[in-house]
Amino acid sequence: MTAPRFFCDAKLGPGVQLDLPENAAHHASRVLRLKAGEEAILFNGNGMDYQVELLRVSKDGVTAKVIAINETARESPLKVTLAQAISSGDRMDFTLQKSVELGISHIVPLAAERSVVKLSGERAERRREHWQNVVISACEQSGRAFVPAVEAPQPLTNWLGSMPSFALKLMLSPTAELNLHDLPRPDGDICLLIGCEGGFGPAEVLAAESVGFTPVRLGARVLRTETAPLAALAAIQTLWGDF
């Protein structure tokens, strides 16, 4: 049986003894019903897995001690940023969870012209924190020891004017002439830009193209906003990554 994994935002090292964070302690003791003497894996996002022995498991908390450190090899050789227009309901959670499983390295939630969900101020920060927790849970499940960061939601036009450089910038479009297999393997980081339920407006498409985004399509069918990034990521990993 694979040892359960828990994210722990703390300094970890040989022999370190610590109390697990509240969420991790609850999951270990109440959900998995682990006992003292059993082992688990902790990670803090630095790329290492820390094997621990549970010294105390009670309703008041869980104490663990690091007994071994292991370097993981579960990261994709590709660095892909997902620039995702915010979708409604649980679509965004699903998209981020599965994108992490598929090896995404960075996430930028974007407010587009046709976005149904409008976020600002404290509400935007609460959603960002929620999405970051979704990402952490996906890392726990998938075995990743690096945690992709979720940026604060921002308007698409603002981000296009300040985004970092990428070797390849892709924008999915059902009307594009190019397919992914028409493109050469990129020599550097990739950015994948995905629209919301109604897609990007004409002005947004022009703005993205003006800063170097290449429209590509995935077959002849129109994909939903939660399907498109996952299909694209799987195809990218197959063409150039570790699939």
What residues does each domain of the chain span? Answer: 5-71, 80-240
Q: Is 122 helix (H, G, I), strand (E, B) or coil?
A: helix
E strands, the chain, are: 5-7, 17-19, 39-43, 48-58, 61-71, 80-85, 106-111, 149-150, 154-155, 168-172, 178-179, 190-194, 214-217
Give the CATH number of domain 5-71; options: 2.40.240.20, 2.160.20.10, 3.30.390.30, 3.20.20.370.
2.40.240.20
pLDDT for the residue numbered 71: 92
The pTM of this model reads: 0.93
Cα gap 38→54, rounded to integer Å = 6
Mean per-residue pLDDT, 179-183: 94
Residue pair 49/72 in contact (Cβ under 8 Å)? The answer is yes
Mean per-residue pLDDT, 135-158: 96
What's the token pair of residue 112? 């587009």
pLDDT of 90 over the 80 cut = yes
Q: What are phi and psi of 63, to 5 degrees?
A: -110, 135
pLDDT of 136 over the 90 cut = yes
pLDDT confidence tier of residue 1, bands split at 50, 70 and 90: low
pLDDT per residue as tens digits for the range 27-67: 999 999 999 999 999 999 999 999 999 999 998 899 999 99
pLDDT for the residue numbered 194: 97
Q: CB atoms < 10 A from the CB of 35, how many?
A: 10
Give the CATH number of domain 80-240; options: 3.40.50.2300, 3.30.160.160, 3.40.50.720, 3.40.1280.10.
3.40.1280.10
